[in-house]
Amino acid sequence: MIELHDVTKEYDLPPGQPGQLIAADRLTLSVADGEVFGLVGPNGAGKSTTLKMICGLMLPTSGQIKVNGIDVEAQPEAAQEHIGYLADFFNVYDELKVWEYVDYFARAYKLPPEKIPARVREVITQMGLETKYDANVAGLSRGMKQRLGIARAIVHDPPLLVLDEPASGLDPKARLELKDLLRAVHRAGKTIFITSHVLPDLEEICTSLAILEKGKLLRHGKIADVMRSAGQTRRVHIRLASAEFALETWLASQPNVSEIQAGPGAAEFVFPGSDAELAALVRAAVLAGAPVYSVEEKTDSLEELFARLSTGEVM
Partner 1 sequence: MLANAEVLRNVRSQLRPAKMAVAAIIVGLLTLVAAAGLNHLSIPAAGPSGWGFGLLHLLFWLQALILAGGGGIACVNAIYREKDHNTFDFQRVTRLSPLELTLGKLFGAPVFTYFICLCMLPAVMFAAVRGRQSSTIVLAAYVVLLVGAISFHAFALLISLLTVRGSHTAAVIFVLVVLGVISSVPAGISYFFRLGSLSPFYAAQVVIQRNWSPPTFVSTIWEESNLPSASIADVFFGHPVRHLIVMLVIDVLLGAWCLLALARNIKRDPTQYELYSPLQSVGIVAFINVVLLGFVNWKVNLIDVQATLLTLNGVILGSIGLAQLRNRDRTRRLLRTQKSSAPSWVDLAWPAPFLFLVAAGASLLVSVAANAAHDTLIAWSTGFNILRSLFFAAWIVRDTQFLQWMILRRGKRPLAMGVLYLLVFYACAWIVFTSFGVLRSPDQMAFTAFVLPTPIYYLDHAAWSVRPAIWASAFVAQWVMIALCIFAQRNTILELARQASPEPVPAPAD
In the complex, least distance from residue 61 CB atom to partner 1, rounded to whole angstroms:
5
Task: Choose the stretch contacting partner 1; rule: CB under 8 A; options: 75-83, 121-129, 140-148, 244-252.
Answer: 75-83
**Binding residues among 141-200 for partner 1 as defined by CB under 8 A:** 152, 156
Compute the distance between CA of residue 272 and CA of residue 261 in angstroms, rounded to an integer.
Answer: 16
> Binding residue for partner 1 (CB under 8 A) from 34, 75, 81, 295?
81
When the beta carbons of 105 and 271 are compared against partner 1, the nearer one is 105
Task: Choose the stretch contacting partner 1; rule: CB under 8 A; options: 13-21, 170-178, 254-262, 300-308.
Answer: 13-21
When the beta carbons of 162 and 251 are compared against partner 1, the nearer one is 162
* Contacts with partner 1, 40-69, as mask; x by CB under 8 A: ------------x--xxxxx-xx-------
Q: How far does CA 49 lie from the centroid of its chain?
A: 16
Compute the distance between CA of residue 168 and CA of residue 111 in angstroms, rounded to an integer.
Answer: 30
* Residue 100 lies near partner 1 (rule: CB under 8 A): yes
Please give the size of the binding site for partner 1, defined by CB under 8 A: 53
Compute the distance between CA of residue 226 and CA of residue 220 in angstroms, rounded to an integer.
Answer: 6
> Binding residue for partner 1 (CB under 8 A) from 33, 42, 74, 93?
93
Asked if residues 181 and 194 have their Cβ atoms less than 8 Å apart, the reply is: no
Over the Cα atoms of the chain, what is R_g?
24
Asked if residues 225 and 63 have their Cβ atoms less than 8 Å apart, the reply is: no
Give the helix/strand (H/E) hosting 213. strand 208-213
Compute the distance between CA of residue 78 and CA of residue 82 in angstroms, rounded to an integer.
Answer: 7
> Binding residue for partner 1 (CB under 8 A) from 33, 110, 125, 180?
110
When the beta carbons of 191 and 247 are compared against partner 1, the nearer one is 191
* Residue 104 lies near partner 1 (rule: CB under 8 A): yes
In the complex, least distance from residue 93 CB atom to partner 1, rounded to whole angstroms:
6
> Binding residue for partner 1 (CB under 8 A) from 40, 45, 87, 123?
87
Compute the distance between CA of residue 46 and CA of residue 163 in angstroms, rounded to an integer.
Answer: 14
* Residue 77 lies near partner 1 (rule: CB under 8 A): yes
Q: Which amino acid is at 246?
A: A
DSSP string, 58-120: S--SEEEEEETTEETTTSHHHHHTTEEEE-SS----TTSBHHHHHHHHHHHTT--GGGHHHHH
In the complex, least distance from residue 163 CB atom to partner 1, rounded to whole angstroms:
13
How big is the CA angle at 112 (ends 106 and 115), to the nearest 5 degrees?
A: 80
Binding residues vs partner 1 (CB under 8 A): 6, 8, 10, 12, 15, 19-20, 22, 25-29, 52, 55-59, 61-62, 76-77, 80-81, 83, 85, 87, 89-93, 95-96, 100, 104-105, 107-110, 152, 156, 216-222, 225, 229
